[in-house]
Amino acid sequence: MRKASNDDNAWKALYHKDFTLEQDSVTPTNGWKAYYAATRAIVNINTEFFNIVRDKSLPAMSHFWLNADYVKCIHASGELFSCFGHDNQS
């Protein structure tokens, strides 16, 4: 079972099934298993973020958002914000 869970070709096939075939020329440095896990994490967090935006839930956003100066958000207007508290009206 361990050998199957670390089979790079299986992870590559799963990645292409779940995401896209456009990444076929990519050779991930840490293998397809890590690449799949990272992509899945990004997709999941993006889904959570946009669900919060859609629901217009300020409490959920304040729980989700890391309040640090290095965290950036690009508003639909193109304006760049660097902290959650900057403009929580939009």
Q: Same structural domain for residues 17 and 39?
A: yes
Same domain, 27 and 46: yes
84 has a pLDDT exceeding 90: no
- Determine the structural domain holding residue 78 and report its residue range: 60-90
pLDDT band of residue 3 (cuts 50, 70, 90) is: low
- Regarding whether 71 and 31 lie in a shared domain, the answer is no
Asked if 42 and 65 sit in the same domain, the reply is: no
pLDDT at 9 over 70: yes
Q: Is residue 65 located within the same domain as residue 89?
A: yes
Same domain, 23 and 67: no
Residues 32 and 73 in one domain: no
The predicted-structure confidence for 19-69, as pLDDT tens digits, reads as follows 887 777 888 999 999 999 999 999 999 899 899 989 999 899 888 888 787
* Statement: residue 8 has pLDDT above 80: yes
> DSSP secondary structure string, the chain?
-HHHHT-HHHHHHHHHHHS-STTTT---TT-HHHHHHHHHHHHHHHHHHHHHHHHT-HHHHHHHS---TT--EE-TTS-EE-SGGG-TT-
Q: Do 19 and 48 fall within a single domain?
A: yes
Number of domains in the chain: 2
Same structural domain for residues 38 and 51?
A: yes
According to the model, what pLDDT value does residue 85 have? 56
Does the structure show a pLDDT above 70 at 86?
Answer: no
Looking at the structure, do residues 47 and 31 belong to the same domain, yes or no? yes
